[in-house]
Amino acid sequence: MIVELPDTTTSQVSKTLVKIREEGGVVALGRVLTLVIATSPGSEEEAIEAANDASREHPMRVIVVSSDPDELPDAEARLDAEIRVGGDAGASEVIVLRACGDAALDEESLVMGLLLPDAPVVTWWPGIAPPVPGEAALGRIAHRRITDASTQRDPQGSLHSLASSYTPGDADFAWTRLTLWRAQLAAVLDQPPYEPITGVRVTGAIDSPSTTLLAAWLRLQLDAPTSYVLTPVEQGSHGIHGVRLEREGGTVELVRDVPGIATLRQPGQPVHDVALPRRNLRDCLADELRRLDPDELYGEVITSGLSLLGDAEAEGVHA
């Protein structure tokens, strides 16, 4: 069910939510958190779909704040709202707030009256994120703040911005997308021979901040010389292309030449195909919502690991 509330107020939205629960039996009981999605007009539906899918694992209230920061300052102040419940909202309640003019200047006030009482707040910027998420209006009220470096105008540069502005509770999907890669590499290194790694080389597309974060994580964990190569998008697939680990007994290579499938080569062992698909928005969001405490490892990688890396190599050859 979708209820439209044109030219309204947050107070009226709250009253309508109560009325819907009383008349239709839709309750907020069991909601474990409030997810605030800050997005731009026209980009709401993809984020809402991901949140609806993730809500089946994490029942929550979803508040979507849609505004255009480049809008003319003298535009008419107006708030249009939309409430989605039942089949249109997965296992959540979705409140869409489309603000313009002066109504969009104070995003914090827009959502404060709609937050679930005593429930943690997670703010997610699926598109362009503020320079310092922890100091943004919707970031100040959140226990966790989720950004996506890959959607920024300069994906690689945004990592260094995230590092300089990092606040415990920050998270980024560039890190979340590494879960499968990290698990596979950890499994490889957990097998004999237990020889130290003497060199690391990571290759990926230049628009893949995950490539840089993977190199930073390996540099931090293995304490070995680490290089990373960023190739033009035109010369290969998006995302991470491969990892090469050097040790005395030979080289371990995990290379993804086919979308979703990586090839694992180890000295003295058969070649294996490993499933390494690129994680979609739903998987990344559900993964991040599994923990509401700060991700200390991500914080260490983004602040310390990046500083240990040198400059990227710009080549057109895959690892």
310-316 long-range Cβ contacts below 8 angstroms, 24+ apart: 310/227, 312/156, 312/212, 312/228, 312/229, 312/230, 313/227, 313/228, 313/229, 313/230, 314/206, 314/229, 314/230, 314/231, 315/229, 315/231, 316/231, 316/232, 316/235
Could you name the CATH architecture of 179-308?
A: 2-Layer Sandwich (3.30)
Burial of 143 (0-12, 13-18, 19+ CB in 10 A): middle
What three-state secondary structure class fits 107? Answer: helix
Tell me the C-alpha distance between 95 and 83, whole Å.
5
Select from 154, 157, 148, 152 the least CA-distant residue to 124. 148
- Distance of alpha carbon 270 from alpha carbon 286, whole angstroms: 35
Look-up: residue for tokens 């109504």?
103
CA distance 215 to 230: 11
Spatial CB neighbours of 118, under 8 Å, sequence gap ≥ 6: none
Note the pLDDT of residue 71.
61
Per-residue pLDDT at 100: 87
Read off the amino acid at residue 275.
A
Side-chain-side CA neighbours of 127 within 13 Å: the count stands at 18
Q: Which long-range contacts (CB under 8 A, 24 or more apart) does 259-268 make?
A: 262/184, 264/184, 264/188, 266/188
How far apart CA 95 and CA 81 sit, in angstroms, is 7
Residue 91 confidence (pLDDT): 66
Q: For the chain, which residues make up each domain, given as ranges?
A: 2-147, 179-308
Put residue 101 in one of left, alpha, beta given phi > 0 → left and psi -120 to 50 → alpha. Answer: left
Question: How much is the pLDDT for 137?
Answer: 94
What type of residue is 257? D
CB 2 within 8 A of CB 73: no
Contact call for residues 279 and 179 (beta carbons, < 8 A): yes
Q: What is the pLDDT of residues 195-225, one digit of tens each?
A: 999 999 999 999 999 999 999 999 999 999 9
| Contacts for 68-75: CB closer than 8 Å, 24+ residues apart | 68/40, 68/41, 68/100, 68/104, 69/40, 71/100, 71/101, 71/104, 73/101, 74/101, 75/100, 75/101
Range 66-95 burial, b when 16+ CB lie within 10 A, else e: bbeeeeeeeeeeebbbbbbbeeebbebbbb
List, for the chain, all residue ranges whose pLDDT scores fall below the cut of 50. 27-28, 316-319
pLDDT at 312: 82
- 126 to 107, 130, 166, 226, 281: CA distances (angstroms): 16, 11, 18, 30, 9
